[in-house]
């Protein structure tokens, strides 16, 4: 049993072993329904999510586990129960792993210190989203074989993005060069210390990228004065058709979803030939099976 609280703390060889293992879980692979047979995986989602929750659900089912789905709505949390009490009560029903999403950064770390079952972070606040980073890396590895020497451009609201943090750590660990591009108001300090290159000039850096990973822009960032308008954001940082044409040959476009079509990415680009967005989703199930296999069995 081990936790997956973030990419931080995992070594390159461990990440690679996990990604290698995920290959066996692709559609058409061997039968894995015995791996977690008789075990229960609890999905604890304190924040809305469709694709991550569904993906973990499918992954657990594919390993023969039963799944307990818990959501905050209508739960004892609305009666004032603390996070730790909720987690301990779920654990006491005999689960092998807790898959947890929470709006507070570090919430799964708190839970992991107080339960004995595995804790898998399915997204905590603006901190990490490790399974997303792993499925992104898996997608790129399937395409390229290795990430060594490749340049990945992560584009958008870096400050509030757990996807950006986990991907930065994961891609760097696997040998890629990572460039982060965002307006200065959405670029937190210290990213260079984490191994990233930082720019505010998309057009200058775009032709170098082997992959462009667009991030979802929360529309309220405009009313919070991080941005003057969505229109200007889209003009300066949106991945539109004209920009797509200037990308490297063979370079791919990614997005963790859900997409704001026409804001961070133009519809034609999201659905275009470079897009691997739906492939990311399919790969997500295989990668999450590998995660559950490593953490919960």
Partner 1 sequence: MSSTVLFRRGRVIDPRNGVDGVRDVLVRDGKVAEVSEAPLPVPQGAEVVEANGKWVVPGFIDLHVHLREPGEEGKETVLTGCRAAVAGGFTAVVAMPNTKVVNDNGMVTELVLSRARAANLCHVYPAGAITKGLKGEEMAEMGELVSAGCVAITDDGRPVMNAALMRRALQYSTQFDVPIMVHEEDLTLSAGGAMHEGPTSTRLGLRGIPASAEVAMVARDLVLLEETGARLHLAHVSCEGSVRLIREAKRRGLRVTSEVTPHHLILDDRAVGDYDTHAKMAPPLRSNRDVEALREAIADGTVEAIATDHAPHGVLDKLVEFEKGINGIIGLETAFSLTMELVHAGALTAKRAVELLTHGPAKAFGLPGGHLAPGAPADVTVVAPEEEWTVDAHRFYSRSRNTPFHGRKQKGRVVQTWVGGRKVFENGQVGPSKESR
Interface segment toward partner 1; rule CB under 8 A; list 16-24, 100-108, 253-261, 285-293: 100-108
Q: Which residue in 57, 101, 162, 177 binds partner 1 (CB under 8 A)?
A: 162
Shortest spacing between CB 185 and partner 1, in angstroms: 13
Closest CA relative to residue 9, chosen from 123, 130, 118? 130
Question: Binding residue per annotation — 258?
Answer: yes
Question: Is 77 among the residues that bind partner 1 (CB under 8 A)?
Answer: no
Residue closer to partner 1, measured from CB, 17 or 110: 110
Closest CA relative to residue 141, chosen from 26, 51, 32? 26
Cβ-based burial of 185 (10 A; exposed 0-12, middle 13-18, buried ≥19): middle
Q: Which residue in 82, 89, 146, 218 binds partner 1 (CB under 8 A)?
A: 82
Q: Which residue in 11, 50, 78, 193 binds partner 1 (CB under 8 A)?
A: 193
Question: Is 84 among the residues that bind partner 1 (CB under 8 A)?
Answer: yes
Residue closer to partner 1, measured from CB, 140 or 164: 164
Question: Is 128 among the residues that bind partner 1 (CB under 8 A)?
Answer: yes
Question: Is 185 among the residues that bind partner 1 (CB under 8 A)?
Answer: no
DSSP string, the chain: ---B--STT--HHHHHHHHHHHHTTSTTS---TTTTTT-EEEEEESS--SHHHHHHHHHHHHTT-EEEEEESTTSGGGGT--HHHHHHHHHHTT-SEEEEEESSTTHHHHHHHH-SSEEEEEEETTTB-HHHHHHHHHHHHHHHS--TT-EEEEES--TT-HHHHHHHHHHHHTT-EEEEE--GGG--TTTGGGT-EEES-HHHHGGG-SEEEE-PPPGGGTTTTS-S-HHHHHHHH-B-HHHHHTSPTT-EEE--S---BTTTB-HHHHTSTTB-HHHHHHHHHHHHHHHHHHHH-
Shortest spacing between CB 105 and partner 1, in angstroms: 4
Question: Binding residue per annotation — 52?
Answer: yes
Question: Is 126 among the residues that bind partner 1 (CB under 8 A)?
Answer: yes
Shortest spacing between CB 139 and partner 1, in angstroms: 23
Cβ-based burial of 265 (10 A; exposed 0-12, middle 13-18, buried ≥19): buried
Shortest spacing between CB 104 and partner 1, in angstroms: 4
Q: Which residue in 44, 65, 83, 290 binds partner 1 (CB under 8 A)?
A: 83
Residue closer to partner 1, measured from CB, 6 or 284: 6
Count of chain residues binding partner 1 (CB under 8 A): 24
Site string for partner 1, 254-293 (x = CB under 8 A): ----------------------------------------
Residue closer to partner 1, measured from CB, 126 or 280: 126
Q: Which residue has the tokens 């919430």?
A: 107
Which parts of this chain interact with partner 1 (CB under 8 A)? 8, 82-84, 102, 104-107, 109-110, 124-128, 162, 165, 188-191, 193-194
Q: Specify binding-site residues for L-aspartate.
A: 79, 162, 216
Residues in the annotated binding site for carbamoyl phosphate: 51-52, 101, 129, 132, 257-258
């Amino acid at each position: 049993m081990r936790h997956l609280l973030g990419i931080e703390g995992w070594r390159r060889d461990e990440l690679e072993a996990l990604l290698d293992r995920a290959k066996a879980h692709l559609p058409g692979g061997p039968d894995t329904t015995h791996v977690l047979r008789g075990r229960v995986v609890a999905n604890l989602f304190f924040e809305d999510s469709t694709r991550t929750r569904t993906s973990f659900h499918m992954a657990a089912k594919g390993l023969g586990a039963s799944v307990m789905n818990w959501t905050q709505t209508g739960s004892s949390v609305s009666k004032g129960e603390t996070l730790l009490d909720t987690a301990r009560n779920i654990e006491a029903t005999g689960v092998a792993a807790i898959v947890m999403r929470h709006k507070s950064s570090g919430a799964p770390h708190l839970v992991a210190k107080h339960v004995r079952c595995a804790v898998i972070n399915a997204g905590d606040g603006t901190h990490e989203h490790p399974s997303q980073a792993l499925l992104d890396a898996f997608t790129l590895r399937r395409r390229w074989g290795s990430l060594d020497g490749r340049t990945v451009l992560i584009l958008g609201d870096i400050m509030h993005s757990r996807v950006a943090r986990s991907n930065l750590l994961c891609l760097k660990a696997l040998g890629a060069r990572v460039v982060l591009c965002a307006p200065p108001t959405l670029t937190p300090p210290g990213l260079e210390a984490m191994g990233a290159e930082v720019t505010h000039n998309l057009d200058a850096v775009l032709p170098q990228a082997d992959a462009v990973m667009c991030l979802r822009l929360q529309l309220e960032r405009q009313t919070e004065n991080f941005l003057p308008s969505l229109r200007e954001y889209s003009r300066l940082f949106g991945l539109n058709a004209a920009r797509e044409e200037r990308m490297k040959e063979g370079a791919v476009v990614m997005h963790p979803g859900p997409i704001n079509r026409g804001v961070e990415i133009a519809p034609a680009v999201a659905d275009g030939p470079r897009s691997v967005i739906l492939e990311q989703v399919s790969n997500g199930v295989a990668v999450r099976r590998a995660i559950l296999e490593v953490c919960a069995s």
